[in-house]
């Protein structure tokens, strides 16, 4: 089948329309279709002027000498045409309407009874192609009702043009799909779109079950959260162009009265019964999510960076006055005991604090969330601080936290990525995981976010929760770069670009639980589809030409002894370390690898200074080496154990490629 797809968005490749059409065409190609994508804006079409030259003076030929003639030739030879258009004022875009108007040369001027619509008049067709049409349309609003008039219009066009209307793929709340930085969140949705394209060619329809999956809400958090993210984005855009306040809101906004109607994908919400118990002592009141003082202070202790001021010795006393709402935050007095690399939280009062802080609940909460600058709040008298002025001034270095405002306008992107993580959640990979993951994204554009994972479901929101299983501390810019695929997450961790505390096993499983691989970009034509197939073929040929190490006849000792032959010095860089293997089971033994100066050597016995120790049964390590067992999964299942530098463990796979 020959398929022509029309992208009617003026934003072309920067549009949500394009990002939906791309995997849709890939699925069609996988089912054997020949596809081509035309960006209507690139045709630079002139509008139909109603002169009827194409009917009377030069039948079948338009008066405009532009690229429509070539486009019309492709249109007339297609078996199916996909009309891709963003929703503009509840209908198609202007350039899509121009294209459809310019289809007039396909008809003759005579009036005849319509062959397929009894009692209705039509025109004779010069060309009897295409046979089918399909509609693809995204819009910014979060409800499907906004598409009603658009769908009715295209159904009527198909009816009068004698095309079979093959269906539609509609995507409300689609603006995030146009953002390059967010593409990794939507791999699951793109997989469904790809499957839909394949079904449409193979079965001539998209199944009801798949249609139901495609219609699931794309972004979590409820309508109120969706409004807030949109408001954040437009506020930052207006800030960038210095729009005066009196020009921003000329009518009352009623969004604050909205309920939080769920918009999360099915399975991404956590019920009160399934959610971790830490969240039961917190709640939403107005625009603020209130949590106990213990969680606020626990989160602050987790922010501590021992490298900021080496060997710091200090105690910081806090007294938090209750909030001005009906919420009991618990104990009011807490102190942090800092001793070099250690920062411990205690309830109560310390005898001689280095620094004392008395603060209203709302003020310290907003400082921690990055909504208020701590020094500005102190200067304005919003809280009191006595004692070491130097420590007070160094607090942002010692406890790196989100900062309000951002010249780079990171906040909206970070917010969408963090709140959108449930869309990339892989429930199968998270089987058996019940945990809270806390994110502390420091610096401009940062914020506090937490993921709650329970019973195969995932929910995300701003704020902090008690006793997270793992806490990720990262500058907002670093985490944004990792999320975009511009920075390798494991390498960034090894380089110390961000730090992690808590369950390191959960960190190793993180990538598989959240599939955020960037979407592969499709090209504009069937030629590019062929190019993708050729790439796959070439890759297979390269793999075939390279003879892999034959592990089948090696014992465990020989397998470890052969690891220097697959050592990658570029990945190791200036690493100097010993990796100890303590092997048990049928083939017990002690061995270690010495890495230094870009070289790797095998040794028998025990290293006197191993940075990483792997304790494993021989059959487990053999299975991993042969590719019969996934190393990370085996670690998660505790089939082998590790002691020492987990950063080195995360670098292990890349250093030794078999």
Instruction: Give the up-direction half-sphere exposure of residue 610: CA atoms within 13 A in the CB hemisphere.
Output: 21
* Cα end-to-end distance, the chain, whole Å: 42
Dihedral pair phi/psi, residue 310, rounded to 5°? -55, 140
> Under a CB-based contact definition with an 8 Å cutoff, are residues 147 and 138 in contact?
no
How many residues would you count in the chain?
658
What is the share, in percent, of the chain residues with pLDDT greater than 70? 85
Consecutive H or E run containing 359: strand 355-360
Highest mean pLDDT among 339-353, 481-495, 540-554, 636-650: 339-353
Residue showing tokens 């005898």? 351
Q: Note the pLDDT tens digit of each residue in 57-116.
A: 999 999 999 999 999 999 999 999 999 999 999 999 999 999 999 999 999 999 999 999
**Two tokens, residue 579:** 């990796």
> Under a CB-based contact definition with an 8 Å cutoff, are residues 626 and 633 in contact?
no
Residue showing tokens 């995997």? 23
pLDDT of residue 334: 95
What is the share, in percent, of the chain residues with pLDDT greater than 90? 44
Please report, for the chain, how many H helices and E strands are present, in that order.
Answer: 23, 25
Which of left, alpha, beta for 396 (phi over 0: left; psi -120 to 50: alpha)? alpha
pTM, to two decimals: 0.63
Superfamily of 277-403 according to CATH: SCP2 sterol-binding domain (3.30.1050.10)
Burial class (CB in 10 A: 0-12, 13-18, 19+), 509: buried
Superfamily of 411-513 according to CATH: SCP2 sterol-binding domain (3.30.1050.10)
Calpha distance 232→242 (Å, rounded): 15
Q: Note the pLDDT tens digit of each residue in 353-374.
A: 999 999 999 999 888 877 788 8
Task: Name the CATH architecture for the domain at 556-655.
Answer: 2-Layer Sandwich (3.30)
Among residues 230, 236, 194, 231, the alpha carbon closest in space to that of 214 is found at: 194
> Under a CB-based contact definition with an 8 Å cutoff, are residues 512 and 429 in contact?
yes
Q: Note the pLDDT tens digit of each residue in 559-590.
A: 898 888 888 888 888 889 999 999 999 899 99
Calpha distance 192→314 (Å, rounded): 54
Burial class (CB in 10 A: 0-12, 13-18, 19+), 57: exposed
Calpha distance 185→267 (Å, rounded): 16
Would you identify the CATH topology of the domain 2-214? Rossmann fold (3.40.50)
In the DSSP assignment, the letter for residue 628 is S
Residue showing tokens 């002169």? 51
Q: Note the pLDDT tens digit of each residue in 202-238.
A: 999 999 999 999 998 876 656 766 777 777 778 877 8
**Any idea where the domains of the chain sit in the sequence?**
2-214, 277-403, 411-513, 556-655
Q: Note the pLDDT tens digit of each residue in 281-321.
A: 456 676 677 888 998 898 888 889 888 898 999 999 999 99
> Under a CB-based contact definition with an 8 Å cutoff, are residues 593 and 578 in contact?
yes
């Amino acid at each position: 089948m020959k398929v022509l797809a029309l992208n009617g968005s003026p934003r072309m490749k920067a549009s949500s329309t394009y990002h939906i059409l791309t995997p849709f065409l890939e699925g069609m190609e996988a089912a054997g279709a020949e596809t081509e994508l035309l960006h209507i804006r690139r045709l630079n079409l002139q509008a139909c002027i109603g002169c009827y030259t194409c009917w009377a003076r030069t039948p079948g030929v338009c008066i405009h000498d532009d690229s429509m003639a070539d486009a019309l030739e492709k249109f007339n030879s297609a078996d199916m045409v996909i009309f891709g258009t963003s929703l503009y004022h509840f209908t198609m875009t202007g350039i899509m309407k121009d294209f459809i108007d310019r289809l007039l040369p396909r008809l003759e001027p005579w009036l005849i009874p319509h062959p397929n619509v009894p009692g209705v008049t039509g025109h004779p067709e010069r060309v009897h192609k295409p046979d089918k049409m399909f509609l693809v349309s995204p819009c910014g609003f979060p409800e499907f009702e906004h598409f009603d008039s658009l769908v009715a219009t295209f159904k009527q066009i198909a009816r009068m043009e004698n095309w079979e209307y093959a269906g539609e793929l509609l995507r409300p709340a689609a603006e995030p799909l146009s953002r390059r930085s967010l593409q990794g969140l939507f791999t699951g949705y793109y997989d469904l779109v790809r499957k839909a394209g394949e079904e449409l060619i193979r079965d001539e329809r998209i199944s009801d079950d798949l249609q139901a999956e495609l219609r699931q809400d794309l972004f979590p958090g409820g309508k109120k959260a969706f409004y807030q993210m949109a408001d954040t984005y437009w506020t930052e855009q207006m800030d960038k162009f210095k729009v005066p306040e009196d020009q921003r809101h000329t009518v009352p906004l009623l969004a604050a009265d909205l309920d939080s109607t769920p918009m999360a994908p099915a399975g991404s919400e956590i019920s009160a019964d399934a959610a971790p118990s830490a969240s039961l002592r917190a709640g939403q009141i107005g625009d603020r999510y209130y949590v106990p003082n213990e969680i606020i202070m626990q989160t602050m202790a987790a922010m501590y960076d021992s490298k900021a001021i080496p060997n710091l010795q200090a105690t910081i006393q806090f007294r938090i006055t209750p909030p001005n709402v009906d919420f009991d935050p618990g104990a009011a007095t807490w102190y942090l005991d800092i001793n070099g690399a250690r920062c411990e939280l205690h309830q109560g009062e310390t005898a001689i604090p280095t620094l004392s802080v008395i603060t209203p609940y709302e003020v310290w909460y907003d400082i921690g969330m990055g909504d208020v600058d701590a020094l500005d709040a102190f200067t304005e008298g919003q809280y009191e601080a006595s004692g070491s002025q130097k420590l007070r001034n160094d607090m942002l270095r010692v406890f790196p936290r989100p900062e309000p405002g951002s010249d780079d306008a990171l906040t909206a992107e970070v917010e969408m990525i963090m709140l959108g993580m449930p869309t990339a959640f892989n429930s199968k990979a998270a089987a058996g995981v019940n945990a809270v993951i806390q994110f502390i994204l420091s610096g401009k554009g940062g914020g506090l976010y937490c993921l709650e994972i329970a019973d195969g479901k995932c929910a995300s929101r701003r704020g902090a929760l008690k006793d997270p299983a793992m806490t990720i501390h990262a500058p907002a810019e670093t985490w944004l770069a990792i999320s975009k695929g511009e920075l390798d997450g494991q390498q960034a961790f090894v380089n110390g670009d961000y730090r992690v505390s808590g369950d390191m096993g959960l960190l190793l499983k993180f990538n598989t639980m959240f599939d955020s691989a960037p979407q592969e970009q499709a090209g504009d034509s069937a030629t590019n589809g062929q190019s993708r197939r050729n790439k796959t073929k070439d890759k297979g040929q390269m793999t075939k030409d390279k003879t892999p190490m034959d592990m089948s006849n090696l014992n465990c000792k020989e397998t470890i002894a052969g690891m220097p032959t697959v050592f990658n010095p570029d990945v190791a860089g200036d690493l100097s370390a010993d990796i100890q293997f303590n092997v048990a089971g049928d083939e017990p033994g002690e061995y270690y690898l010495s890495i230094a100066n870009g070289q790797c050597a095998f040794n028998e016995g025990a290293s006197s200074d191993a940075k990483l120790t792997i304790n494993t049964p021989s059959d487990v390590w053999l299975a991993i080496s042969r590719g019969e067992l996934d190393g990370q999964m085996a670690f998660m299942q505790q089939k082998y154990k590790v002691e020492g530098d987990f950063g080195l463990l995360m670098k292990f796979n890349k250093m030794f490629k078999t």
